[in-house]
Structure formats: C-alpha cells, structure tokens
Amino acid sequence: MLRYDFALREKGQPLYEFLYECLKEDIQRGRLKAHTKLPSKRELARDNGVSVKTVMNAYDQLLVEGYLVSREKSGYFVAGVEAVPKYHPERAEHPQIYVEDNWFADFTANNAVYEKFPFSMWRKVMRQVLTEYDLELVQRAHFLGVKELREAIADYLYRSRRMIVSPECIVIGASIEYLYGRLIQILPRDAVYGVENPGYKKIPRIYEEYSLNWEYLDMNDQGISIESLTKSQVSVVHVSPEHHYPLGTVMSVARRQELLNWAARETERYIIEDDYDGEFRYYSRPIAPLQVMDRNHRIIYMNTFSKTLAPAIRISYMILPEKLMIRYINRANFYSNTASSCEQYALAKFIREGYFERHLSRMKKYYRIQGERLIRNIKQSVLLPAVKVLGGECGTHLLVKVDTSMTDTEIKWAAKQQNLQISCLSEFCSEVKPDYQHVLVLNYSDLDEAAMKEAIRRLGNIFIDW
Amino acid sequence: MLRYDFALREKGQPLYEFLYECLKEDIQRGRLKAHTKLPSKRELARDNGVSVKTVMNAYDQLLVEGYLVSREKSGYFVAGVEAVPKYHPERAEHPQIYVEDNWFADFTANNAVYEKFPFSMWRKVMRQVLTEYDLELVQRAHFLGVKELREAIADYLYRSRRMIVSPECIVIGASIEYLYGRLIQILPRDAVYGVENPGYKKIPRIYEEYSLNWEYLDMNDQGISIESLTKSQVSVVHVSPEHHYPLGTVMSVARRQELLNWAARETERYIIEDDYDGEFRYYSRPIAPLQVMDRNHRIIYMNTFSKTLAPAIRISYMILPEKLMIRYINRANFYSNTASSCEQYALAKFIREGYFERHLSRMKKYYRIQGERLIRNIKQSVLLPAVKVLGGECGTHLLVKVDTSMTDTEIKWAAKQQNLQISCLSEFCSEVKPDYQHVLVLNYSDLDEAAMKEAIRRLGNIFIDW
C-alpha cells in the first residue's frame, strides 16, 4: 500500500502536486522499481484520503514526464528510470568566476564620458516614446531596424557628412561586432580580409572567431598601403579612413581614390569603412567618408551610437551597397532585429529634434578641451619622458612617444603597479617596428577631469621608479 | 587669380566652409590641376575680401583631407587627385527592395499576441527605471548582462522550474541567434552538431552560416533517438525536451537519462536545451528541464523573453556550465553586452515585482483557451478534412493531419491563394516520411481571436476548391 503523509505538504501546495512529488521521489530513489504496477487511481485515492481527481492529476503529470507508462486495460507502471542522487534545492552559490578590475585610470577604455550624457533630453524622448507608442513597442520590429530611425540616420548623414544614403540600405544592430557577423554571411565565402597593421585589435579577432582568411596590410602616412594591398590576396579590406586607430592617420584623397580603384577592379572586392569617431574632429569640418566618393557600390559603411551617445545604448548601423543589401534581405531576414525597439524610436526622435547634433557639438568642445588639457599635463610633467605627442585634433586618444630603456611590456607592468591601465602602440602591430616602440596609446574619453593630473603624475612615476 | 562669388554661399554657411567647398570642387573637377601652386593665404584673402583666418581654415581642411599638400617655405600645392564626376547632393531615392507580406492569417508566425502585453505595468517599470537609475543607463553594462536581471532570472528559474542556477553562469543577449553565435565560439572547433529531424529550421541554418559540421538525428515518440545519436559523429546535440517543435513531443525521463549518460561519456559532449515555450504548459505543471537532472555540467540551457513577453523586447539568455563559462569569460569578454541596459533593469524589476509571473499565468490561460477554440473550430469545419489534431496541451501550435490527395506544396500554394501562410510538417524534415506528409503546422500565438473562424473557413476552402 502506498501511503504518504500529507501533513508534510508545503503551505499552499496543491494536494496533487504533493502526491506527484512523493511518487516522483520514490521512483527516482528506486523505492518504486521499474515496471512495478501502481495502485489504481481509486485505490490510491482511498488509501491517502484524497479525491480520485487528485490522483489522476498526479499520475497525468508523471505520465507526461515519462516517470509512468500506462498500458491499456492494465493500469499504470513505473517506467524504466535510473535512480538519481538526491537533489538539493538550495539556491546555487555564486562562484566569483569573473572579477572586474578597478583602475585608478584606464587609458585603454574607449567609453563615452558618462557625466556629459544628456540625461534630461534622453529621458524626455524615452518617456514620450513610452506614452505615444503602443503596439510598436512590442511588435517584432522591421528586421532592418525601425524605419523612423533609419530615416533619421539617412537625414543626419546627409546634413553632417554629405552622404546620400537610402534608409532602405541601412541595417540597425545591437553592436558593430554583431553587424560584422551578419556582414560576413553575405560576403563571398572565399573572401580574404585585409586588416590595417597597426590597427584596431578587435577586427582580426572577429575574423579568427569566424575562421576566415585574413592578412595584415601595412599602413603608411597616407593610409593603408596600396602596394601591400595589391601584393596580397585580400578582397575585402577594413579601413578607418577618417581617423585611423591608433595612428590617427587621415587617409588622403589620392589614397582614397587608389583604394576605390582597387576595389572596382574585381566584382567581389569591398571596402569596410569603419567611421568609429569621425564625428569628433575638432579643428576642421568632419571629413567626407569614402562612401561619398564611391561610384561602384563597394563601400560598407559602419558606425555606432554606442560611442557618440553612450555604451549602454546598443544601436549601431551599417550601410550596404544595393547588391549586398539584396543578399542581406534574402539571407538574413529570418533574424530578428537585435536592437531595442523602444530605444530605436527614442533615438529617431532624439536625432529628429536636434538633440543628437547639439550633444555632439557639446561633446566635441568637451573632448577638444580634454585633449588640450591632457597634452598640457603631459608636456608639463617633469617625470614623463615624452618626446612627442600626436593626436588631439580628432577622436579621443593621444599617442605619446617616450624616451626610455624600458620595454613596452615593462611599461605596462609598471603602469599596473600605479593602478593605471595603458596600451602601447606595439600591441596593435603584428610585429614590432622600432618606430612603433615606446609609444603609449592614451584613450581619454572617459578620463575624469579631476583625476587627470594625478593620472599623469602616476604615469610619470613609472619611469622614475625604474 | 582665384575669386569666388561669396553671394552664392548658403544662408548661415561659414565663409571658410564656402571657400573650402569651392576649392575642393575646382580640384575635383580638374579646374585646379594636380601640382598647381595655390595663392598664398594673404593673397587669396585679399582677392576674395575675406580674412586670412578664413583662408587658413579652408586650406587646413583641404590639407587634412589630402586635397592640398604643403611644402615648407614654398606654400600650398594641389595634390595628385583624380577628377571625379559631378556630385549630386539630392537625397537618395528609396528603392523598395524589401516588400513585406500582408497575410489574412499567418500560421507560421510565432509571435506573442500583442494585445495581451501588460502595457501599463511595463510602462510603469520603464518609467521607474528612467527616474531611479542614472549612470547605469549609459555605462557599459556588465558583458554578461545586468546583474540585477541575472539574479532575477536565477530566482525565477528556481521558483518556477526548480532550476539551481548561479547568476554568474547566465549570459544575457539580444537574441537566441546572437547567443548561439557566441556559444559556438567556446565549443570545440571540430564539434559536430546534432539537429532534431524533424525540427526547428533555424538551427541548421545557423550551423550552415558558421560553416559547421552538423547531422540530422531521428526523432521517435520519446524524444531524440539515442540509436541515431550513438551511430552519428555528433558531439553537441540541440534538443527541445520540454516541448519539441513542431512534433510536440515531451522527452521521457528515461530518454533524458540516456541522453545525459551519452553526454557524460566524453569530456567535450554537450546538450543544448532549447526551452523555447516550456513556460506554456496548460494541463500539468511545467516540466523540469534537463538542466535540473544534469550532474556532469553538460547542459547549455537557452530561453528568451522575446517569446514570453514580446518580440520587441530583445532579451534572451543562456546558462552555461562552469567550464564553458570560464571559456566564455576568457574569449568573449571583449564583446559588449548586446541587450539594452534600460530594458534589462526594467525586466529585472518586472520579474522581481511579480508582474512577469502574473503575465505568464494570464497568457497561459489565454493560449489554452485559444488552443481549445482553434481545435473546436477545426473539428467543426465541414470543409477541412482533418483526421487528427495534435497539440494544445503546451505551447502555441497544433498539428493537423489532413486527408487529401494534394501534395504539401499544393496545400501551401492553395493556402496562399486564400491569403493564408502555413507550413507543413514535411518542411521541418530532411526527407519526407509518409507519416510526416499532409500534416499542417498551425502556430496560433498571434492569431486574432475574431479572425480565427474566418481563417479556418479559408483553410477549408483550400481542399474544397481543389
């Protein structure tokens, strides 16, 4: 006879659920062996003082989960289930697998400065979107991204960069890396990717993750080396012509034309134009992107609001030439758009109502002054053996050539002792050339104004303590 | 002498910008030839009645962009730039590349029903987050996702599914597909992926996109066939044990144990548990996920709020065993989290305050009734030759076996004439077995209540018109 003590039942727990748990545990622990016939519903109900309906519900759950099998006209049997060790229902402990660093100053971070974020305006448009929109906030968005936003971006790009872009050729995504992943799917499988050397380290990492073929291409003072490009097998080249990272080079018009001509020579050659901080040019107008000069539909233009607005706003975009757009539509429209609809509508409003460009011009002023202040601090530092400072006219990083007998590894290690994180130019290169040695790359976009003096003092200490 | 008509300047355009545009155009059109020496700043300023500063700004911009080169002590020269055809600054037209379908009823859509979305509660928590949070809304979120949300999910999974999960092992992402892409990077490169056959079509498509090796594995009435699995080369298998799509099978406990045993036999074998609609089980308790039975850390559990809440809320998650979590942290922490921070905080609040589970129980009731209503409509239809209806106890789709001489392709084509989009079970299979023929797969989660009768009438028409 199977009898359970219903007094042990948790407060509020349904009778059938308690019975189900008891039976399941007996089966799991092997107390009810495989192929054992269970009592009939009526019998079990009577023995336990519960209704037949209660037993029926418990048996049904056990049937669905496969603990029981039912054989027509002969009743219920325990299924062939192995006994499992006892289950501990405590909440799992939290292993501290990941420990976040806490630097006094992190010169490798490329974040926007949070304090300057236009909170009141952003909150205002977010609240408006929450009030004014309804189904749009829950329905699956257009797989390319919210139409209003694509239109606002197209208008903005025309106003600010003289780019002529159809909203139908813009793909919105939650990050540049994500869009990169989607882009790779519509480029030829046998494409060989070209990476600027030195260059942004994430790019070859992405190619590695996708098991793609890629090559390093040299840089010279006009931009990517065409000689290096033509000697390579590369068919898709990644460049940052408006402001190279970390060298700061602006690709010359002549080099731009050579690059476009190179692409035009074969049908499946493309140029990925990464305009990651082209908006932040301080002493001259923003430089017209390569995309503007492209007559052969070879430019894939990429940009992100995570840099211009805030890293938490996960909205990036790429602009595809029509040929690739058609491929994208055919292949990728089974993917949902990854960016939040609510934030896409908010951003569209934010751009349309002029807040975005107002924010940009405020940030340009702020970053310019921050850059000037940092350069001043570096030049005034008695400890820092800075022989040359490059940058400050665009973006939010400087290159500082230092005169030292330390290796770059030693510099980084010593910086760590000062609770500073820095990179050296040599880390952005495939092999170390003498010119690229002893050059600090200092990102200052989220460097606290107050902390700057102290950060530079500590930076100086690196060299004095040696 | 170079002289420009400054009266042509656009309203509000700075003088230097106009001058820059004129010079650039002259260089681009070839009116100013390569290597021509330009007038000195003073000269050009005098000839055009502008300040030297204006000319300097224009020259500087042209220098940065590479239209001019400056040679020390000899002045400014036109760079070797090819002439480009005239630039048309009209806004690009919008080619209608992508045309959206407009079905009377789309039985292939797997969207949540929008009208049932708890707007007032969601708006409330979103507004609270906008008011209460500050820097959190702009700072780069933790790369695994917002901590509050990971904690809320861990608690919810324990309450509702008896899963014991550390928030440190949860990875938040903007979509299941995105997380899949990340997951693949931490599984062995030579892994062979197993796909249920029949099964969810997106899965092999994702493997194809990543050029991975994959195999189909047979299904039988207890779940994935272990025989088929052991005969294959598969090392990572994708299953939906709580509710198979589209068959509706619940994997039996015995099969679950066999599957876990299979995984335990080699160190790099894993099971991806896709619990896409396990929350929607109507007549019995939700079935405990495989993850609960896993003693060997082989289960990767995946779920999404895009299905339970709304497709526009781009928050999905995966739970990794510790070994994979460590790999994830080492490889993927250079990726920013893709989900919106604001929505992650809002969702954490939404779960914590009980709105999510309240919404789920309302939806369960609604979907259950919708399913019953659809089954009733199908059974009452005089035209529809339905011989068997499967489903309704879980999820939001039914299988309807029809007795017809039409092929499945003809059924789909005829449905299209009725402005209905449907799938047939045979589309979810690698090869067509007789059992899997003439079975309609009807997703009804976003089927309008009012339209249901008419949709079934039209579905009947398919067979009568033939």
CB distance A126–B126 less than 8 Å?
A: yes
pLDDT at B327 over 80: yes
Round to whole Å and give the CA distance between B177 and B183: 10
Nearest-CB residue to B92 (from A117, A164, A256): A164
* Confidence at residue A87, expressed as pLDDT on a 0 to 100 scale: 35
Q: Average pLDDT, whole number, for chain A?
A: 88
* Average pLDDT value for residue range A273-301: 89
Half-sphere exposure of A92 (CA within 13 A, CB side): 24
Q: Which long-range contacts (CB under 8 A, 24 or more apart) does A285-289 make?
A: A285/B17, A285/B20, A285/B61, A286/A160, A286/A161, A286/A242, A287/A241, A287/A242, A287/A250, A287/B64, A287/B65, A288/A161, A288/A162, A288/A163, A288/B65, A289/A161, A289/A163, A289/A241, A289/A242
Cβ pair B341:A181 closer than 8 A: no
Q: What is the pLDDT of residue A92?
A: 45
Contact A91 B158 (CB under 8 A): yes
Scanning every residue of chain A, which has its alpha carbon at the shortest distance from the alpha carbon of B118? A138
Cross-chain Cβ contact B329/A61 below 8 Å: no
Q: What is the largest CA-CA distance in chain B?
A: 95
Q: Give Cβ neighbours of residue B297 (< 8 Å, ≥ 6 apart).
A: B321, B322, B323
Distance from CA of B57 to the nearest CA of A (A): 7
Confidence band for B96, pLDDT divided at 50, 70 and 90 = low
- State the pLDDT at residue A99: 59
Average pLDDT over residues B288-310: 91
Q: Is pLDDT of A398 > 70?
A: yes
* CB-defined contacts A:B, below 8 A: 275
User: For residues A302 and A282, what is the distance between their CA atoms, to the nearest angstrom?
Assistant: 21
DSSP state of B394: B
Write the ipTM.
Answer: 0.81
pLDDT reported for residue B86: 41
User: Which residue from A94, A130, A174 is facing B123, i.e. has the nearest CB?
Assistant: A130
- Please list every residue in chain B whose beta carbon sits closer than 8 Å to the beta carbon of residue A312: 136-141, 340-342
Q: Which residues of A touch B79 (CB under 8 A)?
A: 252-254
The Cα–Cα gap between A282 and A363 comes to: 10
Asked if B223 contacts B252 with a C-beta cutoff of 8 angstroms, the reply is yes
Interaxial angle between packed helices A355-380 and A147-161, expressed in degrees from 0 to 180 and rounded to the nearest 10: 50
Tell me the mean pLDDT in the region B179-208.
92
pLDDT band at B344 (very low <50, low <70, confident <90, very high): very high
Q: Do A335 and B175 touch (CB under 8 A)?
A: yes
Q: Which residue has the tokens 């170079």?
A: B2
Confidence class of residue A5 from pLDDT cuts 50, 70 and 90?
A: confident
Look-up: residue for tokens 């899997």?
B436
Does B20 reach chain A within 8 Å, measured CB to CB?
yes
- At position A118, the amino acid (one-letter code) is P
Mean pLDDT of B353-360: 94
**Closest among B291, B322, B314 to B178, alpha carbons compared:** B314
Using the beta-carbon criterion (under 8 Å), do A211 and B209 form an inter-chain contact? no
Determine the distance in angstroms separating the CA of A373 from the nearest CA of chain B, rounded to an integer. Answer: 22
Q: Do B283 and A60 touch (CB under 8 A)?
A: yes
Indicate the burial class of B68 (C-beta count within 10 angstroms; 0-12, 13-18, 19 or more). buried
Residue B332 confidence (pLDDT) above 70: no
Q: Answer whether residue B211 shows pLDDT above 60.
A: yes
In whole angstroms, give the CA distance from residue B245 to residue A268: 39
Does pLDDT of B85 surpass 60? no
Question: A188 to each of A183, A236, B58, how far by Cα in Å?
Answer: 10, 9, 42
Q: Which of residues 358-387 of A touch B (CB under 8 A)?
A: none
Residues in contact with B178: Cβ distance below 8 Å, sequence separation at least 6, in sequence order: A174, A178, A338, B316, B338
A461 neighbors A418 (Cβ within 8 angstroms): yes
Q: Which of A64, A169, A207, A292 would best serve as a mutation to test chain B binding (most B beta carbons within 10 A)? A: A64
Confidence check: pLDDT of A435 > 70: yes
The shortest CB-CB distance from A81 to any of B140, B254, B314 is to B254
Q: What is the CA radius of gyration of chain A?
A: 31
Q: What is the pLDDT of residues B242-279, one digit of tens each?
A: 999 999 999 999 999 999 999 999 999 999 999 988 88
Please give the pLDDT value at position B115.
78
Q: Tell me which chain A residue has its CA closest to the CA of residue B161.
A: A89
Phi, psi for A298 (deg, rounded to 5): -115, 0
Contact B253 A95 (CB under 8 A): no
β-sheet bridge partners, residue A192? A213
pLDDT digit string (tens) for A145-160?
999 999 999 999 988 8
Distance CA(B150)–CA(B167), nearest Å, equals 5
Comparing CA positions, the residue from A441, A425, A435 lying closest to residue A196 is: A425
Supply the pLDDT for residue B99.
59
Q: Distance (Å, rounded) from C-alpha B149 to C-alpha B167?
A: 9
Within 8 A of A20 by CB-CB distance, chain B residues are 285
DSSP letters, B303-332, are: EEHHHHT-TTS--EEEE--HHHHHHHHHHH
- Position A50 pLDDT exceeds 80: yes
Distance, C-alpha A147 to centroid of its chain: 22
Of A315, A307, A304, whose CA–CA distance to A363 is shortest?
A307
Q: In chain A, what residues touch B111 (CB-CB under 8 Å)?
A: 139-140
The DSSP annotation for A364-416 comes to HHHHHHHHHHHHHHHHH-SS--EEEEEE-SBTTEEEEEE--SS-HHHHHHHHH
Tell me the shortest Cα–Cα distance from A3 to chain B, in angstroms.
22
Give how far Cα B34 sits from Cα of A254, A386, B59, B80, B85, Å.
11, 38, 15, 5, 16
**A94 vs B119: CB contact, 8 Å cut-off?**
no
Give the span between the Cα atoms of A121 and A140, in whole angstroms.
26
Q: Higher confidence at residue A376 or residue A285? A: A376
Query: How many Å apart are CA B23 and CA B21, to the nearest integer?
Result: 6
**Region for B48 from its dihedrals, namely left if φ exceeds 0, alpha if ψ lies in -120 to 50, beta otherwise:** alpha
Position A9 scores a pLDDT of 83
Residue B218: what are its φ and ψ, rounded to 5°? Answer: -70, 155
pLDDT, position B446:
79
β pairing state of A75-78 and A68-71:
antiparallel
pLDDT band at B87 (very low <50, low <70, confident <90, very high): very low
Distance CA A224, CA A198 (A): 10
What are the distances in angstroms from CA A53 to CA A49, A59, B248? 12, 10, 25
- Smallest Cβ–Cβ distance between A285 and the set B17, B134, B309 belongs to B17
**For the CA atoms of chain B, what is the radius of gyration?**
31
Q: Taking Cα atoms as reference points, which of B204, B210, B180 lies closest to residue A209?
A: B210
Q: Which residues in chain A (127-146) have CB-CB distances under 8 A to chain B?
A: 127, 130-131, 134-142, 144
Q: Are A215 and A236 in contact (CB under 8 A)?
A: no
Contact check, Cβ <8 Å, B137/A306: no
Inter-chain residue contact A139 with B312, CB threshold 8 Å? yes
A81-134 per-position pLDDT tens digit: 665 544 343 444 444 555 567 888 899 887 777 778 899 999 999 999 999 998
CA distances from B367 to A54, B128, B308, B372, B436 (A): 24, 30, 12, 8, 25
**Best CA proximity match to B56, nearest among B35, B30, B75, B31:** B75
- Closest CA relative to residue A170, chosen from A181, A159, A157, A161: A157
Residues of B in contact with A137 (CB under 8 A): 119, 122, 310, 312
Q: Is the pLDDT of residue A34 over 90?
A: no
Q: Which residues in chain A have Cβ-Cβ distances shorter than 8 Å to B139?
A: 111, 114, 310-312
Q: What residues 237-296 of chain A have any CB closer than 8 A to a CB of chain B?
A: 250-257, 281, 283-285, 287-288, 292-293, 295
B residues 75..134 contacting A (CB < 8 A): 79-82, 84-85, 87-98, 100, 111-112, 114, 117, 119, 122-123, 126-127, 130-131, 134
